[in-house]
Amino acid sequence: MAKEKILVVDDEEDIVELVRYNLSREGYQTLSAETGEKALRLARTEKPDLVVLDLMLPGMDGLEVTRAMKGDAELRRIPIVMLTAKGEEPDIVAGLELGADDYIVKPFSTRVLVARVRAALRRRRTEPVDENRKIEIEGIVIDPGKRTVTVEDNPADLTFTEFQILQQLARRPGWVFTRSQIVEAVRGDDYPVTDRAVDVQIVGLRKKLGACGNLIETVRGVGYRFRETP
């Protein structure tokens, strides 16, 4: 049975061929675009299951493509993995905050690329998220209805904010959330808070989770994620 369809967007032909070759070896169907405008046209007509997207494109750049896709009801659920030479923190944060699911900085390992693509597709298959579903993962049980958390069968006394952060991260293991995304999910996008305040909440949350606290991983210069388990 054919695997998912992946759209590769890059204006460097050798990069496109390298990515398509390695994805095809894994059984994925691939198509490509060298501009942002063409990428959007193909996304609307072909409905790919995932987009591998360069940021530096002629005309419409990768951030604009991401913004357009996430603003389109028919395209917003398509995962985007950014593949870019722009590895500076502001570029990475900007892409993630627009809704990209992951990023890989050039030069890159094709094995890492395939693994990230596979993980993003796996996460997509598990959606949509049931907000009332009890979460059980690595000894942690989160009950949204009762707003309770147990760690190795012991109750954890979390504050409102700590509970919201844990729930957000644990619902999507492997997803990287920027600090501002965490704040927006917990308090709303107009809530005044600093990056340092988020870091303090994470420190307190890890402490209350005990040995399970290391499941919350720091993604340097970007934010946090809940470790993805096999």
Quote the pLDDT of residue 130: 58
Instruction: Tell if the pTM clears 0.95, that is, is over it.
Output: no
Confidence grade of residue 5 (pLDDT, cut at 50, 70, 90): very high
Please name the residues in contact with 46: beta carbons below 8 A apart, sequence gap of 6 or more.
Answer: 5, 7, 31
* Segment among 90-94, 151-155, 221-225 with least mean pLDDT: 90-94
> Helix (H, G, I), strand (E, B), or coil: what is residue 156?
coil
For 18-31, write each residue's pLDDT tens digit: 999 999 999 999 99
Superfamily of domain 5-125: Response regulator (3.40.50.2300)
Q: Which amino acid is at 131?
A: E
Q: What is the mean pLDDT of the chain?
A: 87
Would you tell me the crossing angle of helices 110-125 and 13-25 to the nearest 10 degrees? 60
Quote the pLDDT of residue 99: 81
Confidence grade of residue 190 (pLDDT, cut at 50, 70, 90): very low
Choose among 119, 127, 136, 141: nearest CA to 228: 119
Strands in the chain per DSSP E: 5-9, 29-33, 50-53, 80-84, 102-105, 135-137, 140-143, 148-151, 154-155, 177-178, 216-219, 223-226
Chain CA centroid to CA 203, Å: 22
Question: What is the number of residues in the chain?
Answer: 230
Quote the pLDDT of residue 172: 86
Please state the domain extents for the chain: 5-125, 135-226
pLDDT over 90 (residue 52): yes
Confidence grade of residue 193 (pLDDT, cut at 50, 70, 90): low
Quote the pLDDT of residue 225: 92
Quote the pLDDT of residue 1: 42
Which CATH code of 3.30.565.10, 3.40.50.300, 1.10.357.10, 1.10.10.10 fits the domain covering 135-226?
A: 1.10.10.10
Measure the CA–CA gap between 19 and 6, rounded to whole angstroms.
Answer: 10
Would you tell me the crossing angle of helices 160-171 and 179-187 to the nearest 10 degrees? 120
Name the strands in the sheet holding 177-178, side by side, starting at the edge strand that comes first in the sequence. Answer: 177-178, 223-226, 216-219
